[in-house]
Amino acid sequence: MLVHQRKYTLEEYHAFCDAPENEGRLFELIDGEIVEKMGSFKPSQIAMRIGRYLGNYLDQNDIGYVTGEAGGYRLDPAHVVMPDVGYVSKTRLPEMPEREAPLAPDLAVEIKSPTDSKRDLRKKAELYLEHGTKLVWLVLPEEAQVEVYKPDEDVIEIGIDGTLDGGDVLPGFTLAVRSVLG
């Protein structure tokens, strides 16, 4: 994970991302610092599976948008995040923005890659919740489990034989952990 260690404004972050030398690269703004997202094959494949299941659900229930690893969400001027998979309702975001969404996703999915630390991902899960995300799934492929975060609730660990539930965020949506990690 490459970090540019100085505080950037939102405008400076956008200019940095738009610079020709950064074409094709993905960056987040975390506490005003620019952090490059590093790709990994297996986490990307898991994200695509989750995104496909969410997309299929949204084809049947036209209630929102699903985004991939390049879909940005501006939590505040010091935080622009790109969950591996995100979902936001059309009620909260009636029209798709040109750049990042000006709010937190309703659901954020982060998949641990070999370059990620669990500590940093757990901090990021808490960051999402602090800014209004209602559901966070932290997928840990090496442990074959998912940590589920909800506001004001204890973290729930769901193993390979368990099922994720969309709750109030995605009514009626369920996803067998084995179908994305197995």
- 117 domain residue, yes or no: yes
Position 5 scores a pLDDT of 67
Write the single-letter amino acid at 167.
Answer: G
Q: Which CATH number do you get for residue 68?
A: 3.90.1570.10
Question: What is the SS3 assignment for 73?
Answer: strand
- 7 domain residue, yes or no: no
- 13 domain residue, yes or no: no
Which domain does 83 fall in, by range?
39-181
- 5 domain residue, yes or no: no
- 160 domain residue, yes or no: yes
Position 40 scores a pLDDT of 86
Please choose, from the candidates 156, 163, 165, the residue with its C-alpha nearest in 3D space to the C-alpha of residue 177: 163
- 16 domain residue, yes or no: no
Position 39 scores a pLDDT of 79
HSE at residue 12, side-chain half, CA atoms within 13 A, is: 12
Burial 105-116 (b: 16+ CB within 10 A, else e): bbbbbbbbbeeb
Position 6 scores a pLDDT of 78
145-149/135-140 β-pairing: antiparallel
Q: How many CB atoms are closer than 10 A to CB 127? A: 19
pLDDT per 10-residue tile (average), the chain, 182 residues: 72 94 93 88 95 98 96 96 97 93 98 92 97 98 97 97 97 97 85
- 108 domain residue, yes or no: yes
182/178 Cα distance (integer angstroms): 4
Is the pTM of the predicted complex or chain greater than 0.85? yes
Q: How many domains does the chain fold into?
A: 1
Position 60 scores a pLDDT of 97
- 32 domain residue, yes or no: no
Write the single-letter amino acid at 95.
Answer: E
